[in-house]
Amino acid sequence: MAAITDSWATRGRPGWIVILFWGLLAALPLAGLFTNDPSFDYYMFMGQAMLINAIAILGLNLLIGFNGQISLGHSAFFAVGAYTAAILMNFAGFPYWTTLPIAAVICFGAGFLFGFPALKLEGHYLALATFTLAIAVPQLLKYKLIAPWTGGVGGLILDKPDPPEVLKLSPDQYLYYLCLVVAMLAFWIVRNMLRGRSGRAMMAIRDHAMAAATMGINTARYKTVTFGISAGITGVAGALSGITVAYVAPDSFTLQLAVSFLVGLVVGGIASLPGCIVGGAFIVLIQNSSQSISDWMKVTFSLRYDVPAWAIYGVLLILLMYFMPRGIMGGIETLWLRVTNRKEASS
């Protein structure tokens, strides 16, 4: 994975495509004015899920794509974020929006601490340790000593926040905007970070850790802090998910969640910022349409069985690793650079 730089991340000013894209996302809820579709609120809810997944994948991408540390355990930080929001809202009466920065800080701490053992581990070993973390988390959340706060197996039910009166939005439209604002903020922060000195240091560590150390980069500090920031971003996504779904339970934070982040990351594009959004949208779409995909496949290939989403994920991941190792956005970028004859295309 040597020397991947994200042209979107490192370019000077946000291009018109980026501005147009976010503008379009912001305009989407307005479509509700022109339609009486009863499932419109459900589409808004899907939009929230897509943005939340995009933020979580952004956190993961920062770690895997830009810093070269493999994590299969980001479901754990997502869970910490969600539970932080849930516990603060239910037991301490915090307003929902204040839980987001708190979740970020707590998850940063958790990620930073996990980053220390991760320092000594590389490649497969780090994947192994984080894999174990992902599997241990649901059981840990059910533990009886902390059950008074976590709700044990049953989880916690939250109140869905009401939109302010003046905005005249439905709750789902409002939450969509909340997710959108947080997503824009997260992408803006990450983009700025990657463009600067710290971003170059992260990528230098990914490409050649020893050379980076020789150049005077404190690799240990950068790796632990990157782990922390990555976990913090994913934790905010977790808190948002707790707020929008209004329910947290241990069995939503299994290894499968971590794997779905990985799927989104690989599909969207390793070390690609727009890829995070593509990946986030992709996993929500697949999860929501898995039944119709399954029906379609049953008819087309005359199968006797239902095809679960995970079978599709599995096949897709392997195919992507063969044919498009940098994912959809990675593939598009490579093509674009080749078409416009930039020098990066040859590297």
Partner 1 sequence: MEFFIQQLVAGLTSGAIYACVALGLVMIFVSTDHINFAQGEMAMFATYLAWAMIDAGVPFWLAFILTIVIAFAGGLFIQRVILKPLEAAPVLSLVVCFIALLSFFNALAGMIWSFTIKQFPSPFPPRDVFGNGLVSIQQIGVVAVTLIMLGILTVFFRYTTLGLAMRAAAQNPASARLMGVRVSWMLALGWGLAAAIGAVAGMLVAPIVFLDPNMMTGILVYGFASALVGGIGNPMGAVAGGFIVGVLENLVGSYVIGNELKLTFALAVVVGVLLLKPAGIFGRVIVRRV
57 membership: H or E segment, kind and range: helix 40-67
Nearest 5°: the CA angle 32, 33, 35 is 65
CB 80 within 8 A of CB 141: no
Can residue 72 be called a binding residue for partner 1 (CB under 8 A)?
A: yes
The mark string for 7-46 relative to partner 1 (x by CB under 8 A, - otherwise) is ----------------------------------------
280, 50 Cβ separation under 8 angstroms: yes
Residue 128 interacts with partner 1 (CB under 8 A): yes or no: yes
Determine, following the binding rule CB under 8 A, whether residue 313 of this chain makes contact with partner 1. Answer: yes
Q: Residue 286 half-sphere exposure, CB side, CA atoms within 13 Å? A: 21
Query: Which one of 15, 101, 123, 196 is in contact with partner 1 (CB under 8 A)?
Result: 123
User: Is residue 336 close enough to count as binding partner 1 by CB under 8 A?
Assistant: no
What single-letter DSSP state applies at residue 156?
E
Residue 265 has a CB neighbour count (10 Å cut-off) of: 28
Report the C-alpha gap between 228 and 62 in whole angstroms. Answer: 11
DSSP conformation class of 11: S
The reply to whether 315 sits near partner 1 by the rule CB under 8 A is yes
Residue 308 binds partner 1 (CB under 8 A): yes
What is the nearest approach in angstroms of partner 1 to the Cβ of residue 242?
Answer: 22
CA angle, 317 then 68 then 205, to 5°: 160
60 with 118: CB under 8 angstroms? no
Q: How far is the CB of 130 from partner 1 (least distance, A)?
A: 10
Does the footprint of partner 1 cover residue 3 (CB under 8 A)?
no
Least CB distance to partner 1 at residue 99 (A): 25
Residue 152 neighbours by CB under 8 Å, 6+ apart = 142, 144, 250
Of the candidate residues 133, 201, 229, 231, the single one contacting partner 1 (CB under 8 A): 133
Of 26, 113, 317, 324, which lies in the binding site for partner 1, with binding defined by CB under 8 A?
317
**106 or 262: whose CB is closer to partner 1?**
262
Q: Which residues form the interface with partner 1 (CB under 8 A)? A: 1, 64, 68, 70, 72, 117, 120-121, 123-125, 127-129, 131-133, 135-136, 139-140, 142-144, 210, 255-256, 259, 262, 266, 270, 305-311, 313-318, 321-322, 325
